[in-house]
Chains A and B, each alone.
Chain A
């Protein structure tokens, strides 16, 4: 105790801070949260053992192995496109949850809610913009990811099935984007979806039924809005997360990313 009272005020403050830091990082609660090897643990040092522990003892172990091929970390090979697609999906989930607080999927309320969100909700316009541009960006990055994988021949054995999963993910991404397109309930949304669903109505044999199920009626209306809202915020995200889980798991099972060329 006497020791801490020595020195100038600045030194004493420094000492107090160090003591506080030590007691927090030494506490049972802290050590129960951060497993050994966590960079937030007391006395973390850069060693091969701790580098392994960072992955092994964190939730990231579900996504990444402890070590990866040296060429796999070259940005010029993957351009980060797959990871970015996943990250944009997370970004869209976060901004989308924010938007859900201010939106009612009915023909009477939808447009007014979006308008109110833009004009009277703090950061409402910004978050809506991020959701919109993020969605376009995700379609683009998933598409580019597919092109990258093809040009590297990364769909070849043993990765054939993961390529199939990837094509399904691309389709789901388009469906997610398309179902979200209707929700602002403005002229752009209504007529874009009219064009899109009219095309689906020409499906052989089942065309009429497909269109009826998608629209929740003969014409686009408030039932369509509710239907597409549920598809957009719950159904397709649920499906796409399952396929993403299989996709990421297979990347590791098939021996990490392909290459080098």
Chain B
């Protein structure tokens, strides 16, 4: 025969006592009322009184068990058989309202838990974002279509390798490079400088260690980028509008435009 652990025996005893107390209560329903009246404090809820009574009974039961000691195990075990078998399936509820646990203390979550993601203010993609995207797409389609109705794409005469137009210009986004050609060796203007420009752009997030995205914290980065963008924008504008025959400097309002898109 397996030995029943002592704490289980105690628990079974307590449960039995409690059941007995309950049946006694049922037998004499007037008793608790009389007791509370004699106590003179009617504010104590009935279930707390009941619990203290159960605790008292358990104390007595525990004392009895201590008295009987290890020798009593064999005799008590068969009697408590029902309780002992039930015990492993789940602890006997002894708390208020039949709960199996007690609230020891309340610890505020911030002090022991690190809440990483703060709840964010979010909206549904449909309709809030999709409506905007749809409107933007519609606008750009309408703009392109209407612009195309009124302005025709250029189609000059058939290509002729023997007839070099003057000036010969690259597409507008390369006119900055062509402008550089007037100042530097073609390798520097056509390869080194644009290559460096792209390389620096790629490096930007790895060079810029400043974690802030607030404009007031990034004055240097913003100034640098603005200079970079303006550098190309000014070169492209000069190349587009201020370069005429022989790629010499002209004024568009004096000599007209030498520019096709």
Q: Which of B121-178 contact A (CB under 8 A)?
A: 121-130, 132-133, 136-137, 140-141, 144-145, 147-149, 151-161, 163-165, 168-174, 177-178
Cβ-neighbour of A137 out of B144, B171, B213, B229 (below 8 A): B144
How many A-B contacts if CB must be within 8 Å? 213
- By beta carbon, the residue of chain B nearest A260 is B213
What is the interface size of chain B, counting residues whose CB is below 8 A from a CB of the partner? 72
Cβ-neighbour of A188 out of B124, B152, B156, B229 (below 8 A): B156
What is the interface size of chain A, counting residues whose CB is below 8 A from a CB of the partner? 85
A171 touches B144 (CB 8 A): no
Complexed CA–CA distance, A163 and B198 (Å): 12
Asked, given contacts A87-B137, A258-B213, whether A191 binds B165 with beta carbons under 8 Å apart, the answer is yes
**Which residues in A have their C-beta under 8 angstroms from that of B5?**
none
Asked, given contacts A137-B140, A167-B198, whether A52 binds B124 with beta carbons under 8 Å apart, the answer is yes
Q: Distance in Å from the Cβ of A78 to the closest Cβ of chain B? A: 9
**Which residues in B have their C-beta under 8 angstroms from that of A192?**
168-171
Cβ-neighbour of B153 out of A64, A128, A174 (below 8 A): A128
B170 touches A69 (CB 8 A): no
**Which residues in A have their C-beta under 8 angstroms from that of B189?**
199
**Which residues in B have their C-beta under 8 angstroms from that of A51?**
124, 126-127
Which stretch (A22-30, A147-155, A226-234, A243-251) binds chain B?
A147-155
| Contact string against B for A residues 144-165, beta-carbon threshold 8 Å, 1 for contact and 0 otherwise | 0011001111111101100110
Complexed CA–CA distance, A16 and B229 (Å): 63
Q: Is B225 located at the chain interface by the 8 A CB criterion?
A: yes
Q: Is B120 located at the chain interface by the 8 A CB criterion?
A: yes
A186 touches B186 (CB 8 A): no
Q: Is B248 located at the chain interface by the 8 A CB criterion?
A: no
B181 touches A199 (CB 8 A): yes
**Which residues in B have their C-beta under 8 angstroms from that of A207?**
187
Q: Which of B165, B169, B170, B177 has the most CB of A within 10 A?
A: B170
Cβ-neighbour of A133 out of B153, B163, B177, B198 (below 8 A): B153
Q: Which residue numbers of A lie inside 8 Å of B, CB to CB?
A: 48, 51-52, 54-55, 60, 64-73, 75, 80, 83-84, 87-88, 91, 107, 111, 114-115, 118, 125-126, 128-134, 136-137, 139, 146-147, 150-157, 159-160, 163-164, 167, 171, 174, 177-178, 181, 184-192, 194-196, 198-200, 202-204, 207, 219-221, 258-259, 261
Q: Which residue numbers of B lie inside 8 Å of A, CB to CB?
A: 120-130, 132-133, 136-137, 140-141, 144-145, 147-149, 151-161, 163-165, 168-174, 177-178, 181, 185-187, 189-191, 198, 201-202, 204-206, 208, 210-215, 218, 221-222, 225, 229, 260-261
